[in-house]
Amino acid sequence: MDELGTSLTLDKPDSWPSMARPKAAVLGIEITPLDLNRTVSLLIEMVRTRTQGYYCVANVHTTTLAVRDDRFRKALDGAAAVVADGMPVVWRVRAAGYPQAGRVYGADLVEAMCAAGIDQGLRHGFFGGLAGVAEAMVCRLKERHPWLEIAGVWDPGLIKEGQESPPDLLDTINEARCDILWVGLGAPKQEIWMAQHRPQLRVPVIVGVGQAFDIIAGRTARAPDWMGRHGLEWLYRLAHDPRRLWKRYFVYNTLFLWYVFRERLGFMHQS
pLDDT digit string, tens, across residues 190-237: 999 999 999 999 999 999 998 999 999 999 888 888 888 888 887 777
Is residue 95 packed enough to be buried (19+ CB in 10 Å), middle (13-18) or exposed (0-12)?
Answer: middle
pLDDT per residue over 37-50, tens digit each? 999 999 999 999 99
Q: What pLDDT is attached to residue 1?
A: 31
Residue 85: pLDDT above 90? yes
Q: What pLDDT is attached to residue 20?
A: 61
Confidence category of residue 121, pLDDT binned at 50, 70, 90: very high
Residue 271: pLDDT above 60? no
Cα-based angle 190, 256, 76 (whole degrees, multiple of 5) = 30
Q: What pLDDT is attached to residue 238?
A: 75
pLDDT per residue over 139-185, tens digit each? 999 999 999 999 999 988 888 899 999 999 999 999 999 999 999 99
Q: What pLDDT is attached to residue 13?
A: 47
Using DSSP, state whether 183 is helix, strand or coil.
strand
Confidence category of residue 59, pLDDT binned at 50, 70, 90: very high
Half-sphere exposure of 172 toward its Cβ, with a 13 Å CA cutoff?
A: 13
Q: What pLDDT is attached to residue 14?
A: 52
Which of the 8 DSSP states describes residue 188?
Answer: T
Distance between CA 212 and CA 94 in Å, rounded? 24
